[in-house]
Structure 1
């Protein structure tokens, strides 16, 4: 029986490496038998990714000062390091598990705390994600087709605007994505080889990702589990048993830190920031779990936090990502960050599944790759398994991100980039190869490019002042690509290469233009985005791509030297403009004079001062290098400080000053405010040369 004309030929005989073909040559030029262009092209993409992630990185200062303060505190105290405490005195943790902080903290301990030591590991993780994705996609198709698909996938991920923006920041999403892409690599390897240990490694990596950003890591689990159950070799019950073993590994690798912390005596560890009852379990289920999906009033149910929105936050309904609904990812805020290639990826997924469903003769591989050992040809082919995994990844993320009514930030969507990139590469190459057998697939590919080009034109026209000629260039290139690809499908092979090149340019020009914008401005640490300001902004001055400023590049307690305003001047931590000093956000403002007074009078106290929220505390920690208590967590709403605890700190001299003002501690901490005002001594502004204002500094007796 003749094989389908779309099927790839049988695997070529092994190529023997020439004498002297060493590891260095293999690293630079690829393995023997690889296309000559493959490895140099990969290196070019990785260099591009490195440039996008590191160019002018030092200008980003402390990026998100909330996490920067925790990284710095972890360099001063191993206790603060382990728990992810905001301050070196370990009063309260940040509202995420600490794995990403550990990565940056270890770098800061080795090289000294600063912008580069903190942000370079993030940039390196972003580049590593591109490399791992390339490897995963390359192994899903055989021969030159695999290398082509992997190269396209790596390039798409490199040029995803929101990925460039977040990889230049210190939020945990960069580490999350690296771990999940690595988990996908091992899951696909387990589908190919059927080994339990390979699947367990994938589960452990997802568990580590859980310790970077909790339940968001689990969004890939349905795709991984269903793909393995469907496509892996072996009997059904054996596959189920392997999944159960992987599930056990996932539970252990996810829960170990949570269990240790929740079993730790509360009196000898920091309060769990973002929780309502001082447990990590509440943080998982509430603030970083169901609250992100359903919204609400407490513990992340719409509360602010460094990625906040809703009550106590700054993003309004739906956070900073716009209103929930099927079109959220295509709105004015998010379209330019992630949506460029979603239409192409969806078409590529459907087309790829159709192509890999065809029945082939026994022993004949599916298009571009062999079949899984012990499975039926075509039905459970390696490419089909890869398409199912990446497609499931994309669909689950789309559903959760689109319809979540709790806190939502544009940079969350960076987790969709690997799936979009992989589907673009795999489906695009499969359609391109299939055009030789049927004109239909050439037309489908041309239509995919056309839809993507039209959408790119629409997104670019939303901001006509941003590179005004680009939408028209995209339109022209798209037209040329569609004509070239369609002509190639009808036998005009001479224009095939030109049509394909024009197609790549048409679909990547828009995201590439957005992707380079973070290189020219300081990162918006709390809400990093790329491209021009669009829509309703981001809830803070600057909006998407705007000028939300972080701290200074110098380390804590260092003077800026050539800055006329000294170490206390410049923009506030919360992005609130207005003279020298630090934005207090909820909880008042600490100006230069007050900060100097507190430093002079701290004495042997553990903490410099107690303030209402982490927005004030993180700024003070980074400027002075001294521990500061954030009594109410990020927004001032956590019931972390109690009257009894405050009395204890005052009695043993660990805390001398409390700053009230602004919104002040809310909810259960109102008793703290009443106790301070009743038992503390107000410090007159004249004592430190400050100006009268809303903030009220109290000395504890």
Structure 2
């Protein structure tokens, strides 16, 4: 009960901005899930919508426990804005993903190791069982890259719907291990999310027979690694702010190239992303720590592409 209350309402040591921002992100994730399912009022879909919002809280807790509020919020933001995030393929997938993220939180949390291991096994087993059973039978054809069908060839680029932040996540994983190498608990959490991302992405990329499940599983790992890496590199001394600046430029370059494959899809977006990335890199140059303006412009540059694509997949904005 104390853990649930702390997750929902925060603690006295939490920054004042963290919980309001988190509630906004959870509401956004729930809205995108609801609209992505066709805004069907069926109660099972409403359960999935609630699970989508709760997944943002769960990922925030799983990341923030070891890496701080900033990393947790960044991870929640990346997950909420993922075009295929939070089990938008079905209500049962949303519940399964929530259970699996909670299992990861149990591994990362502080406390007796046997209790955490037992919780992780129970939650993880329940999540896998729900995902395999598909007990509600309300799946739609909006799975995987099909969520992006309205955006034309954007769904067909190498890496599919995960191309936006996958390179950032890979660099973040390596940088995180280098920065936190003396902290066994942090290294363990990084290895957890690195394994999560690698296994789920390989399952997706290799066309596994249960590829839809892997499509649902990839975004939380990428979001967690991106949030951890951005927070660690942004608040650590040289050379990490420069590496973070390079990550922002690299992510923006990927977005620019991907968006260029479909010039009719929001043509203003690729140039806006490029301008924000250049501004972020210029602001970070020479800074020991990433300043607020650089962080904000870097966030906008890295997440503008997937955010607009997620809004298009949900039918909030036009695809042309």
Which TM-score tier does this pair reach, normalised by the shorter chain?
Answer: 0.7 to 0.9
Query: Which consecutive aligned stretches of 4+ in structure 1 deviate over 6 angstroms post-superposition?
Result: 25-29, 319-322
1:30 corresponds to which residue? 10
Cα RMSD for the two superposed structures: 3.2
1:425 corresponds to which residue? 227
Gap change, CA 1:402 and 1:26, over 3 Å in 2: closer
* 2:204 is aligned with 1:389: no
Offset at residue 337 of structure 1 (A): 2.4
* 2:69 is aligned with 1:147: yes
Offset at residue 346 of structure 1 (A): 0.6
Offset at residue 520 of structure 1 (A): 2.1
Q: 2:131 aligns with which of 168, 192, 213?
A: 213
1:112-511, aligned counterparts within 5 Å?
Answer: 115-141=41-67, 146-163=68-85, 166-167=87-88, 169-170=89-90, 172-189=92-109, 192-214=110-132, 332=156, 335=159, 337-357=161-181, 378-380=182-184, 382-404=185-207, 406=209, 408-409=211-212, 412-435=214-237, 438=238, 440-489=239-288, 496-511=291-306
2:149 corresponds to which residue? none
Gap change, CA 1:340 and 1:209, over 3 Å in 2: same
**Which structure is higher in RCO with an 8 Å CA cutoff and minimum separation 6?**
2
Question: Which ranges in structure 1 are unaligned for 5 or more consecutive residues?
Answer: 1-24, 62-114, 217-256, 258-305, 309-318, 323-329, 358-377, 522-529, 534-701
Say whether the 8 Å CA contact 1:453–1:474 is kept in structure 2.
yes
Offset at residue 443 of structure 1 (A): 1.1
Gap change, CA 1:393 and 1:128, over 3 Å in 2: same
2:215 aligns to what SS in structure 1?
A: helix
Offset at residue 137 of structure 1 (A): 1.1
User: CA separation in 1, counterparts of 2:145 and 2:8?
Assistant: 42
Post-superposition Cα deviations, 1:424-470, rounded to whole Å, max 9, x if no partner, equal 111111111113xx2x1111111111111101111111111111110
2:151 corresponds to which residue? none
2:100 aligns to what SS in structure 1?
A: helix
User: CA separation in 2, counterparts of 1:384 and 1:424?
Assistant: 15
Offset at residue 348 of structure 1 (A): 0.5
1:44 corresponds to which residue? 24
Say whether the 8 Å CA contact 2:252–2:273 is kept in structure 1.
yes
Offset at residue 186 of structure 1 (A): 0.9
Gap change, CA 1:321 and 1:116, over 3 Å in 2: closer
2:16 aligns to what SS in structure 1?
A: coil
Offset at residue 174 of structure 1 (A): 1.5
Say whether the 8 Å CA contact 1:432–1:445 is kept in structure 2.
yes
Offset at residue 354 of structure 1 (A): 0.5
Question: Which ranges in structure 2 are unaligned for 5 or more consecutive residues?
Answer: 147-153
Offset at residue 116 of structure 1 (A): 3.0
* 2:320 is aligned with 1:517: no
Relative to the length of structure 1, the TM-score reads 0.40
Say whether the 8 Å CA contact 2:249–2:278 is kept in structure 1.
yes
User: CA separation in 1, counterparts of 2:7 and 2:57?
Assistant: 13
Offset at residue 482 of structure 1 (A): 1.2
Say whether the 8 Å CA contact 1:341–1:420 is kept in structure 2.
yes
Gap change, CA 1:531 and 1:206, over 3 Å in 2: farther
User: CA separation in 1, counterparts of 2:22 and 2:297?
Assistant: 20
Gap change, CA 1:415 and 1:27, over 3 Å in 2: closer
User: CA separation in 2, counterparts of 1:208 and 1:26?
Assistant: 24
Q: Larger Cα Rg: Structure 1 or Structure 2?
A: 1
Gap change, CA 1:413 and 1:26, over 3 Å in 2: closer
User: CA separation in 2, counterparts of 1:349 and 1:133?
Assistant: 17
Say whether the 8 Å CA contact 1:514–1:531 is kept in structure 2.
no
Say whether the 8 Å CA contact 1:336–1:531 is kept in structure 2.
no
Post-superposition Cα deviations, 1:359-381, rounded to whole Å, max 9, x if no partner, equal xxxxxxxxxxxxxxxxxxx251x
Gap change, CA 1:175 and 1:334, over 3 Å in 2: farther
1:628-667, aligned counterparts within 5 Å?
Answer: none
User: CA separation in 1, counterparts of 2:203 and 2:6?
Assistant: 42
Say whether the 8 Å CA contact 1:338–1:414 is kept in structure 2.
no
